[in-house]
Structure 1
Amino acid sequence: MVRFPRLPLCDNSLTPKPHILPIIIISQFACTSLWFAGNAIVDELTIKTGLGTEIIGYVLSSVQLGFITGTLVFAILMIADRFSPSRVFMVCALLAAACNLVLLSEEISKWTLLSARFGTGFFLAGIYPVGMKIAADYYEKGLGKALGFLVGALVFGTALPYLVSGTDLGSNPDAVIKTVSMLSVLGGVLLWISVPNGPFLKPSTELQLDTGSQLFKISGYRKAAFGYFGHMWELYAFWAFTPLAIKTFNLLNSETLSVPLWTGIIIFLGGLSCSIGGIIAQKTGSHKVASRALALSGLLCLLSPLLFQLPTSIFLLGWCLWGMAVTADSPQFSNLVASSIPAELKGTGLTLVNCIGFAISIVSIQLLSYLSESINPKHLFLILAIGPLLGLVSLGRKSS
């Protein structure tokens, strides 16, 4: 079993050095590039495993299930609050990369594929929420802006495998896997070397197994969490089935849009919106940014069938706008979650919300995967509007 060193006490008088946030952002980008690596080479994996179109749901859902299991374990054991978060991040980055490299096997069974993706997801639980925890340890004020850049880095990382696949390098699927795996190793080591424990870190000294139930008794935490859950119903299903949307548009309109390239661009733009939303939140507040982005993405869910009937430029514009709206609220929900709970429980609080949110994403992904066999793909995305609607109701008005 991997053992992490106990956290040393921190000097709360310290202020972040200029390099801290860029290093966290770069490392988060590098390590989360593993997330969609399997989906970016799904055609190659289809040949290796003999699976059909259902592989789209399997490949991503296995990562999500691994992430859920990992975040549940991390939350119950309070890993991010009891041990050095930078060391946890680095070890998980190395192990996630190792799991990802299994996809290089010449022959791979369905269960080997799903196990490898599950393992990658499990160790991503020590990267994404732990990266946010590290940012919270450094930025007591302006956390919404910092998380905007940080979650933007995650989105950029998610887009990277598609962008690589859409270039000449992508003609070799193994190159995609090797590239993102090496990035994960470098990102984990870079953060461990360059980012010590933050000045606002308050370590938990004992394991509290009832922490989760206690957190949901806090009104602000509960509202932010349920708003985030609505967001998660939509987000990963939108990303997973955007390639199908582009393929459908090509078939309906005799177009030849590059599926991996445009999927990468659409996801990449979501990273920009996270950063822009973080800057706007400095003036307007995280609640307003989160609620408006959630409302816009919900509206685009309802308008999605119409987009398939419009000219190519309008279709792409609409899908790119949706790609921005669907992510802009994510870091602001994380800020609302983190700011509503005691400092010594931020890591556990963020990890728990991630765990439940990603469990919800599996349901929406599998639902769309099942329905894609029986309904017109251009109507598929209407189902995603359920998430933004319920999220807005749960988020409610900003508390005074």
Structure 2
Amino acid sequence: MTNLLKRYPLPVIVLAQLFGTSLWFSINGVWLSLSAQLGLTESDLGRLTLAVQAGFIAGTLTIAVTGLADRFGASRIFALSSLLGALVNGGFIFAAGAPPLDFALRFATGLCLAGIYPLGMKMVIAWTPRYAGAALAWLVGMLTLGTALPHLMRGVTLGMPWEWPLMTASCLALAGGALVLVLGDGPHLPRSNGRLPLSQGLAALRMPQFRAVAGGYFGHMWELYAFWTLVPLLIGRELQRLGQSDAWIPWLSFAVIGIGAAGCVGGGRLSRTLGSEWVARRALTVSGAFCLAYPWLGGLPPVLLILLLIVWGIAVVADSPQFSALASATAPRESVGSSLAVMNAVGFGLTLPAIWLTSGLWAELGSGVVWLLIPGPVFGLWSLARYRKQAAVS
């Protein structure tokens, strides 16, 4: 079994990533039933989504500062995080609508995800380093599908208790952790000698090219998770205009978010010939254009606006794996895992104000809240321009 998995490491890692990251938005997928049953509001959704992001940030900062990602086997950290994540996600069933315990459990879910997502990236680089942009595209594609998966599970289980999709996500996380544990660590990154300084994960930030790439990633992250949080609300607005049932919201939300996986994989294929920077710049330009134009298009037919959301869903995440590939290429080889973790920590830190602003102002601004996302793509493109200049000189 182990030998079979090691013959196909990339499919194993991306499948495990899909299963593990289904924990991320697990409550978002069941939100309509959960809010109706417990009387929760969109602000509560924002609060609990922020809890996951805050937990992820705390976890990745811990990994970055301590160098845990480069001190211990990535597969073991991934598997342990999947096990703990499955348990705390299941525990939310008993704490839903009971603050602050519900917040604490979602925060703990985010902590566990910090041991899944960055470590999954390190494992991809350690097993398949030759085409990092294309390989990471599959990994981030699975993260995107994992984010969308709760919406699909809710669509499939409409009419059933909301607890079922949450338990399904926990079971998937357990399966993902088991797969990675059997696979083990890859052979293509240097092993730590156990004497890395605690600040090793921060060393990459002193490197100009890494900082420029990270800046592009930070602008991308300001937009990405706030957009994903808004998707059910934007879809619901158009379904209301169509006079259609809210039962379509989870299916269409899955389509808009999940289609991003195709954007990641397609961008990965392009990166093999055109380069990661080229793909990242084009995707960020397109998603930024949607941030600017979408509120002005509110008078268009609802079906057309839903189709535009699907196109936006492709562009908004297609640049993510390319930023990770560029970061892994410009980070110190002995601390790739910790360097990616610190980039993730800062990037996800920026998702907190973006989610808070957009979810909190939805009732007042409606679709106009997406204008608040524009600074992200603008800053990201400026930072990528700096990277191009530095790469041309070096």
Paired letter, 2:332: P
CA distance in 1, matches of 2:110, 2:41: 22
Q: Counterpart in 1 of 2:89?
A: 100
Report whether the alignment pairs 1:228 with 2:217.
yes
Counterpart check, 1:314 vs 2:309: no
Is 1:114 aligned to 2:103, yes or no? yes
- Structure with a larger share of its residues in helix: 2
How far did 1:309 drift?
Answer: 1.9
Corresponding residue number in structure 1 for 2:250:
260
Change (3 A) 1:343 1:151: same
Unaligned runs of 5+ in 1: 1-15
Matches of 2:170 and 2:9 in 1, distance apart?
Answer: 23
Aligned mate of 1:359, from 325, 335, 349: 349
Which stretch of the first structure deviates more once superposed, 213-222 or 224-233?
A: 213-222
> Is 1:54 the equivalent of 2:43?
yes
Cα distance in structure 2, aligned partners of 1:165 and 1:292? 33
**Residues 391 and 106 of structure 1, relative CA distance in 2, 3 Å threshold:** closer
* Identical pairs, percent: 37
* Cα drift, residue 56 of structure 1: 1.8
Matched, 1:26 2:19: no
What is the Cα deviation at residue 214 of structure 1? 2.8
> Is the CA contact 1:307–1:318 (under 8 Å) kept in the aligned structure 2?
no
2:129–2:188: 8 Å Cα contact kept in structure 1? no
Contact 1:48/1:109, CA 8 A, preserved across alignment: no
Deviation at 1:153, TM superposition (A): 0.7
Matched, 1:208 2:206: no
User: TM-score with structure 1 length normalisation?
Assistant: 0.92
Q: Secondary structure at the match of 1:208?
A: coil
Q: State the Cα distance separating 1:327 from its structure 2 match.
A: 0.4
1:290 aligns with 2:275: no
Say what the alpha-carbon RMSD is for the aligned residues.
Answer: 1.8
> What is the distance in 1 between the residues matched to 2:129 and 2:235?
42
User: Mind listing any 5+ residue stretches in structure 2 that lack a counterpart?
Assistant: none
For the residue of structure 1 that corresponds to 2:206, the secondary structure is coil
Query: 2:34 is aligned with what amino acid?
Result: L
CA 106–47 in structure 1, closer or farther in 2 if over 3 Å, else same: farther
Equivalent position of 2:145 in the other structure: 156
Tell me, yes or no, if the aligned pair for 1:267 and 1:323 is still in contact at 8 Å.
yes
Amino acid across the alignment from 1:346: V
Worse-matched range after superposition: 156-165 or 312-321: 312-321
SS in 2 for 1:374: helix
Aligned length: 384
1:276 CA displacement = 1.0
Cα displacement (A) at 1:17: 4.8
**Could you report, residue by residue, the CA deviation over 1:159-214 in whole angstroms, capped at 9, with x for unpaired residues?**
11101111245632111011110000011011111233433343252242333543
| Letter aligned with residue 214 of structure 2 | A
Q: Secondary structure at the match of 1:372?
A: helix
Check if 1:337 corresponds to 2:335: no
**Which SS does the other structure have where 2:363 is aligned?**
coil
Q: Distance in 2 between matches of 1:110 and 1:79?
A: 31
1:303-361 deviation line (CA, Å, top 9, x unaligned): 11134322233212210000010000000000010000121110001000000000100
